[in-house]
């Protein structure tokens, strides 16, 4: 199942494991992504708090966690090839995490699309 945050983060999960990345909307707004700063395996995620950032030609944008959990895997490919995020934001996960709890504010794809239209 995939859900979205108001911070333009997607979370795709099955059972208690989630993949987390940024939406196509966020990738388009950022432009060419040059660098990604991600947490280490084992770090705790706190819902609503920063877990990393993405640097583009235009800006640096914080990555805000949509869950409480623990990082189980980091996409190391993004260290050397951050541009792949721009090429396929919906298919490029940043981290995998064991979910402890979700944000109450996660949205369905329809709800997220409505949010984007209002921006």
Distance, in Å, from the CA atom of 79 to the CA atom of 100, rounded to the nearest integer, reads 27
Q: Percent of the chain at pLDDT above 90?
A: 93
pTM assigned to the model: 0.95
C-alpha closest to that of 93 among 34, 11, 35, 24: 11
Q: pLDDT per residue over 96-113, tens digit each?
A: 999 999 888 999 999 999
Higher local confidence (pLDDT), 104 or 24: 24
Pick the CATH number of 2-111 from 3.40.140.10, 2.40.50.100, 3.90.660.20, 3.40.190.10: 2.40.50.100
- For the chain, which residues make up each domain, given as ranges? 2-111
Q: pLDDT per residue over 35-52, tens digit each?
A: 999 999 999 999 999 999
């Amino acid at each position: 199942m995939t859900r979205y945050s108001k911070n333009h983060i997607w979370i795709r999960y099955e059972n208690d494991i989630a993949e987390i990345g940024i939406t196509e909307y966020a990738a388009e707004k950022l432009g060419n992504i040059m660098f990604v700063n991600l947490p280490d395996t084992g770090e705790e995620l706190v819902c609503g708090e920063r877990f990393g950032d993405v640097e583009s030609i235009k800006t640096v944008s914080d990555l805000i966690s949509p869950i409480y959990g623990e990082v189980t895997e980091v996409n190391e490919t993004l260290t050397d090839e951050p541009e792949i995020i721009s090429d396929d934001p919906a298919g490029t996960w940043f981290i995998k995490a064991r979910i402890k709890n979700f944000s109450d504010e996660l949205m369905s794809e329809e709800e997220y699309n409505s949010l984007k239209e209002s921006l």
